[in-house]
Amino acid sequence: MAREGWVNEIFSSVQGEGLCIGERHLFVRLAGCNLSCRYCDTQWRRQELGMLLTGEKVVTFSNPIADEKLLELLIRHFLPVGHAAISLTGGEPLQQGEYIENFVYLLRRRGFSIKILLETNGTLYTRAEIAGKIANIISMDIKLPSATGLDPLWEEHRLFLRGVLKGGEKPQVYVKVVVKEGTPGEEVAEAASLVAAEARTIPFVIQPVTLKDGKGKPFIGVSPERLFHFHEVASQYLDHVRVIPQIHPFLGVN
């Protein structure tokens, strides 16, 4: 049964965050989010017209868009050549969980084996089963209150991580935390211990917030000393801790 969803952008670019950094991905940016982080740099609110960016021209489409039509757009303009994965991003893709589940089903039925990377804020734990079913790789955020301006979401994150790790065939999961200069080490410790309670071997990415100067040029907004401190704190709990900043703002791409 066809489903309709809200998609803001479709584009091909370099993955700029997390463990897949530097790979060429096909991005499908879904509209809508259940959170509002103060560092968010994406247009996640619903738009009547979505945009497909090919590098040569902009193709517009009307929202909501049927999953079958979305797949046809991807096949016509991007697939099957040259991408390591399709990145389902947002916003928060799991707000449209049934839509992306059906889209991935149609993709597989057409014979495409390309990997699916799901980028999620890791709070919609009642939809963790969908995440585990459709994704080969899950990039799960843990939202630190000091960086996001949000109330603590520890329990939501705990339940989500537990949900995607249970069951039969498990996706590759890594956790990402965005930090700022004033982030307390205690928050990083809380996040790392939450992950370690499920498995010490889950990769843990510390991502310094990206800021812009008066001329609009990006820069990393956390000092090396603080990043070293955060790494030391998280490494007390976990075996695979990395500091990885965003690269796409410095490349000037989406």
Q: Which of 162, 145, 163 is nearest to 153 (CA)?
A: 145
Query: Among the listed ranges 73-82, 113-122, 130-139, 149-158, which one has the minimum average pLDDT value?
Result: 73-82
Q: Give the pLDDT confidence score for residue 192 in this predicted structure.
A: 98
Amino acid of residue 7: V
In whole angstroms, what is the distance from residue 99 CA to residue 96 CA? 5
pLDDT at 234: 98
Residue 86 lies in a domain: yes
SS3 of residue 89 by DSSP: strand
Strand partners, 61: 50
Question: pLDDT tens, 23-49?
Answer: 999 999 999 998 888 877 666 678 899
User: What amino acid is encoded at 215 in this protein?
Assistant: K
Higher pLDDT, residue 84 or 57: 84
Q: 183: which residues sit within 8 A by CB, 6+ positions away?
A: 144, 146, 147, 222, 226, 230
Q: Where are the beta strands (DSSP E) in 56-108?
A: 58-62, 65-66, 85-89
**Mean pLDDT, residues 1-17 taken together:** 93
Q: Is 155 left (phi over 0), alpha (psi -120 to 50) or beta?
A: alpha
Structure tokens, 238: 């976990």
Nearest alpha carbon to residue 157 among 195, 102, 186: 195
Which domain, by its residues, includes 17?
4-187
Over the stretch 183-214, which tens digit does the pLDDT of each residue have?
999 999 999 999 999 999 999 999 999 999 99
Pairing of strands 137-141, 172-179: parallel
- Residues 246 and 13: beta-carbon distance below 8 Å: no
In a domain, 193, yes or no: no
- Residue with the two structure tokens 């103060």: 38
Identify the pLDDT of residue 238: 98
Of all residues in the chain, what percent carry a pLDDT higher than 70?
96
CATH code of residue 29: 3.20.20.70
Q: How are beta strands 172-179 and 65-66 bridged, if at all?
A: unpaired
The residue whose two tokens read 């071997």 is: 201
Q: What is the pTM of this model?
A: 0.95
Instruction: Answer yes or no: is 18 within a domain.
Output: yes
246 alpha-carbon distance from chain centroid: 12
Q: Residue 217: which pLDDT band, with cuts at 50, 70 and 90?
A: very high
Residue 69 lies in a domain: yes
Q: How many Cβ atoms from other residues are within 10 Å of residue 21's Cβ? A: 16
Q: Is residue 240 part of a domain?
A: no
Say how many domains are in the chain.
Answer: 1
| pLDDT of 141 over the 80 cut | yes
Amino acid present at 187: E
Q: What's residue 46's pLDDT?
A: 82
- Predicted confidence band at 127 (pLDDT cuts at 50, 70, 90)? very high
Per the domain annotation, does 219 fall within a domain?
A: no
C-alpha span between 30 and 124 (Å, rounded): 15
Would residue 217 count as lying in a domain?
no
* Res 51: pLDDT: 94
209 within some domain = no
